[in-house]
Chain A
Amino acid sequence: MSIQVPLTRRSFLRSCALATGAAAGVLGGPGRLLAWTAAPADDDTPGEAVRKVLSGLFGDRPLRRGHVELTLPENAPDGRTVPVFLESDLPMEPGNYVKALHLLVDKNPDIHLAAFYFTPASGKASIDTRIKMRATSWVRAIAETSRGELWYASFKVFPASNGCG
């Protein structure tokens, strides 16, 4: 059994105004709302845990964007098996080659998910595999050259299910 309240135009408008006011209040006004929705979308600034992993791997060497291709589905239906492709276009010559491709997932229990080490005999630094993802997270690919340079790419993935338990 439900209680019927007659909904007039006036009461409807009043409740709408109240709801909008409440929402604006919570989020601190329209300006704040915009900042809140727009900023994080492409901001891949690493959190503290990820920074710790990065400095453990590379010290304070600078990371530059580029020379790594990182391909994943933006929406992964199954977090247990997310296809990932990473490849570098840098040369593979003796004395100047991509020594390693590192794969990091910010929100996974093991942030540094895998490292793939190559030699000039590989002919190319490239990997195609499938990974587990626990939650919506930035995925990072870092190419480390034999000369110690670091190149990176990042991509945000939204898995529909948890693959890590």
Chain B
Amino acid sequence: MHARATHPIGEAKILLPPGIQRDSLIYVRTLISHPMDTGFFKDHAGKPIPAHFIDAVTVTYGGEEVARFTWTSGISRDPFLTFPLRATREAPLAVTWRDNRGGVYRQSVDVAFS
């Protein structure tokens, strides 16, 4: 019942909508591969699968923190998240995911106007 990840942990994507106008409200889609193990399940051999989940996410835009999320293992595996952003300037948008075992995963894209 617990299919293992086919992608390595921490492989992340940030997707921006096409045709961004200055000062428009955009919805940024993010996806990261992560097991988000709760610690409540056992593997096929009956051994408990220890808790391993992302508990902190930060979003920076041009180096400034614009949003921050605190998670539990109640977020589904391979977390998908869409959040809003006011596109005020052309600058890099970076997302950092941190898990409860010290894993840090980072991805960034450049917000550019068309």
Contact = CB atoms under 8 A, between A and B. Distances in A.
Nearest to A121: B66
Interface residues on B, range: 20 to 34
B71 A121 contact: no
Interface stretch (B4-12, B77-85, B98-106): B77-85
B70 A129 contact: no
A146 B73 CA distance: 27
Interface residues on A, range: 20 to 34
Nearest to B59: A122
A122 B67 contact: yes
A19 B67 CA distance: 60
Contacts, number: 96
B76 interface: yes
A128 B67 CA distance: 14
Given A109-B40, A114-B69, A165-B38, A121 B74 contact: no
Contacts of A71: none
Contacts of A105: 74
Contacts of B61: 121
A123 B84 contact: yes
Nearest to A118: B67
B83 A131 contact: no
A105 to B, nearest CB: 7
Contacts of B38: 109, 132, 164-165
Nearest to B48: A165
A162 to B, nearest CB: 10
B2 to A, nearest CB: 9
Contact of A110 (B65, B69, B72, B77): B72
B20 to A, nearest CB: 12
A122 B69 CA distance: 13
A65 to B, nearest CB: 23
Contact of A116 (B65, B67, B72, B86): B67
Given A127-B83, A165-B41, 14 more contacts: A80-B77, A108-B74, A109-B74, A113-B71, A114-B72, A115-B70, A117-B69, A121-B88, A125-B84, A129-B80, A130-B76, A131-B75, A165-B38, A165-B40
Interface of B: 25, 27, 38, 40-41, 61, 64-77, 79-86, 88
